Structures are given as structure tokens and as C-alpha cells.
Structure 1
Amino acid sequence: MDRKAFFISDAHLGVNPPGAIENRESQLIQFLESLQGKASHVVIVGDLFEFWYEYNDYVCRNHFDLYFALKKLVESGTEVHLLQGNHDFAYGTFFPKSLGVHVHKQVVLEIQGKRVLFRHGDGVAKSDFGYRLFRRILDFPLNRFLFKQIHPDWGMALARFVGRSSRKAGEDRVINLKEYQAWADRIMKKENCDFCIFGHIHISGIWNLDHGTAASSGEWIKKLTYLQMEAGEISLGEFKTKD
């Protein structure tokens, strides 16, 4: 029998918003450790970190235990994939070269005989026009180069400030779930996929659409939710913390 596959998203490690579960990074590490030798695939569908940027000789030391857990999971035979999110899109070579974790903006994987498309989900809604423009500015090579000239401590402080401001501005944002479902239906038809897995909206759910099944893994902030795939079927789960 095939091993199960597991999908999570939106941990936003590095910040603790109001209502966040205490020590949720430690809980995530426990979850990953519990999957060693048991999971065929683990896919982190974006925004693992509140902010990520790699310098030539620097990675954030605050998540060392998480890096180690991911490396051990890879060494146990699990295929681990990491999707770029809107908060942590600036990955370099650290995850693939040092940890064996594959990094993508979008990817289609063959799992349990099914074609599964993964994408974080930022910028896919028509209402995200302003964000798409802002993302182009952030991703412009000159701007990426200029940010790299800032001392890492200052860069992280600046990023956290921008993140807090963005989070506060988006508190009243209403998620139009139908926009995401319509996008998922279109892309499953285009890519000939059975499933579309996304995050970004912090809402967990599974929806049967015209051209396949769409699912959102929720978040790892106020709830520790995930998706699992077994025998070609998707279901929701929630990690229960140890006492």
C-alpha cells in the first residue's frame, strides 16, 4: 500500500499574531518528525515563514530545529516540496542544496496515480490586482539586489514591520471563496489535473468542482490543520499537540 501524503500551509513562522497557538513551531517539528518513514510526500503550500530572504552566507538561525527536521524527513525517504508564498517567495539554494527540499512557485506531482497541482494561491483572485503589481515591484531584480545590501538584522526588522502593517491592513479583507474555486477549476482543466491544492486564504476545505477537486489546507497559526491523501482521496486533519 502507498504511503500517505500530507499537505500544510501558512505557518507564518517568525511572528505570533493574537490568538496564535503557543509554540506552534515546536508542534510543526513534532508533526514532521511523526511522518518519518510514513509519508511518501510532504508539501508545504507556501508561507512557511512570515519572511524569508537568503544572503550568500546567511540564513535565519531562529529555525534551526525546523531545518533539521526537514532534512531528517528527506533522509527517511519522504519527498518534500516547498511552495513560494507571498511572504516567503525569495528562496535561494539553501533548501534544495542543504536540505534536499524541492522549491517551486507551482508544481504538478503524480501522487497515488493522481495528478495534483500545488500553488500557494496569492494573486490568483481577480481582486488581487494591487497585490500582483506590488509583487512585481518586490521581485524586480534591482530591488532584490538593493535589499541584499542591507544588514540581515535590519532587513528582518524592516520585513517584520511591513508584514505587521500588511496584516493589520488586511484584517477586514473578505475572502471571496468562489474566486479561488473558479481559478482552481480553470487550472485543473488546463493542466489536466485531478486535484488543486492551495493555501493563502487560511480557510480549510475540500470542494468538488466541475473539473476535479480543490482543497485548501487552512493554516498553522490558530489551528494546526493539514490535508492528507490516501488511496487517491483527500481528507482534512488537525494535529493534536502533546500534553
Structure 2
Amino acid sequence: MNKSTHITLAEGKKIYFASDNHLGAPTSDASKPREKKFVAWLDEIKHDAAAIFLLGDLFDFWFEYKTVVPKGFTRTLGKLAEISDSGIPIHYFVGNHDLWMHGYFEEELGIPVYHKPKEFMFNDTSVFIGHGDGLGPNDKGYKRMKKVFTNPVFKWLFKWMHPDIGLRIGQYLSVKNKMISGDDDATFLGEENEWLAVYCKRKLEDKHRDYFVFGHRHLPLEIDLNEKSKYVNLGDWIQYYTYGVFDGENFDLKKY
């Protein structure tokens, strides 16, 4: 695991978190009101944001060819570019719907992209951050599928497919396949059965972290792991419109 990255918050500044927008689902037109709402939120938080963390599945399907990216999402990409250009750092963790990010966000938007969870220090508070897919004792079906999706041979073959065909297949699977979409497990399982909470408790055996922040589950959750550590799941921008905010001392889930 990489060493933690330190971010110092000036007085009055905050760090914001969002996850699981699934823009483009179930159709581009149907998701556009959700996209406009998300862009309005970005426009509000830019005034006091020290940094913004997007924890994956911003798009319902995303695949980067060498010279082609999926059509659409102009409002979101433009707003992210504006915020990044203004000097506010944005950090992106890939999810299971956008595994195939390979340079576009970094080169075009100046946004670093992480393919694995990473620890950050916000002032003196340690926060372990990731999308959450494939972690913990369960999610076995997806773990097998992820091995296929990230296989270099599979990605090479998919890149040779015409983008109109490849993107259509990817979008269809993203919407229809419950294993990919995560719709089949978007219910609270109880603290002892929440596999990301189990994963966090195991990580605490090696090292203390004040907060563990994930997406993927599509549920806004706050679970105390012990007296000094908490697991937070950010929910989504489909049903809940929830986001996280850290003010230098406390992490809170809020609804937009």
C-alpha cells in the first residue's frame, strides 16, 4: 500500500466526497436531470472546497480507447475541468463501472486517478479511501468478473472492437447485469454482515485509521468500528443524493 498523502485544511475549508452517479443510466436523457443536479452541487461546494474526492462509478459505463471516449457528460466534465483549473484538487477512484480509465482524466482534466484504495491524512485525521468493489469476504461473483475485465488480453480484444459496438455492449451490460450494477445488494445487511465493514475491521488490525470511506454499496451508512474509527458509505446520486464532508475535525454524511 502506498504511503498516505497529506492535505492541510485552511480554516473554513472542507473536503467533499461523492460516489455512484451512474451517469448515462438507464439512458442518457433519463440521467440528464441527475447530472444537472450533481453539477449544481459541484458549483456550490467549489467555494469552500479544499479538495474533492469522487469515489467511482461517476459513469454507468466508461471505456477509453486510444483516441475515443464515450460521448456525452459534457456538463460534468466541463465543471470538473473548471474546478481543477481553478486550483482545487480533485481525486478520482475508479469503480466497477469505470475500471478502464487510462489517462484521459489525468491528461485532459488534471485529475489523478487511483485504481486501488489509498490512505490520506487530512490535518491529523487518517482517512482510508476507495470505491469498495471486490473488497472483504464476499462479492465473490464480481471478483471473478473483475479478473476477466482487467485481463490485458480481454482489454486488448475490446479495444479492437469498433467503439460504436463496444460502447453499446458495455452500456447494455452495465444496465442489465445485476452483478455489475450492484442493484441486487443495495439493502442493509446488518453490521456483522456488511462485508466492507468486515474489511475495515480487518484493516484496523494492522493500523489505526480514523475513517474508512467507500462507495459501491449505494447506501448511505455510518458504522462505528470501535470507539475511535468509523466506516462511512457515501450512498449514491440516483436515489439518495448523499455526499460526505470533512470540516477538519468531523466527517458527516449530508443530503443534497
The TM-score normalised by the length of structure 1 is 0.90
| Superposed CA offset, 1:181-210 (max 9, x none) | 121122244353211100111110222212
Distance in structure 1 (CA, Å) of the matches to 2:239 and 2:219:
11
How large is the RMSD of aligned CA atoms in angstroms? 2.1
Greater shift in the superposed pair: 145-154 or 159-168: 159-168
Aligned length: 237
1:237 aligns with 2:254: yes
Contact kept? 1:35, 1:73, Cα under 8 Å = no
Match of 2:157 in 1: 146
Match of 1:209 in 2: 225
Distance 1:198 1:109, change over 3 A: same
Match of 1:36 in 2: 46
Match of 1:116 in 2: 127
Distance 1:188 1:37, change over 3 A: farther
| Superposed CA offset, 1:114-150 (max 9, x none) | 1111111111132211211111011110100100011
| Superposed CA offset, 1:197-236 (max 9, x none) | 0011111022221261110110001221101111221111
Distance in structure 2 (CA, Å) of the matches to 1:220 and 1:92:
24
Match of 1:83 in 2: 93
Equivalent of 2:196 in 150, 175, 180:
180
1:192 aligns with 2:192: no
Contact kept? 1:37, 1:76, Cα under 8 Å = no
Distance in structure 2 (CA, Å) of the matches to 1:83 and 1:44:
6
Distance in structure 2 (CA, Å) of the matches to 1:113 and 1:79:
19
C-alpha deviation, 1:61, in angstroms:
2.8
Distance 1:77 1:196, change over 3 A: same
Distance in structure 2 (CA, Å) of the matches to 1:170 and 1:118:
19
Distance in structure 1 (CA, Å) of the matches to 2:61 and 2:12:
35
Segments of 5+ residues of structure 2 without an aligned counterpart are 1-10
Greater shift in the superposed pair: 111-120 or 181-190: 181-190
Distance in structure 2 (CA, Å) of the matches to 1:167 and 1:216:
20
Give the percent of matched residue pairs that are identical in Structure 1 and Structure 2: 27
AA aligned to 1:47 is: D
Contact kept? 1:6, 1:41, Cα under 8 Å = yes
AA aligned to 2:250 is: E
Contact kept? 1:188, 1:194, Cα under 8 Å = no
* Structure 2 residue matching 1:41: 3-state secondary structure: strand
Match of 2:177 in 1: 166
Query: Structure 1 segments of 4 or more deviating over 4 A?
Result: 168-172
Match of 1:67 in 2: 77
AA aligned to 2:164 is: D
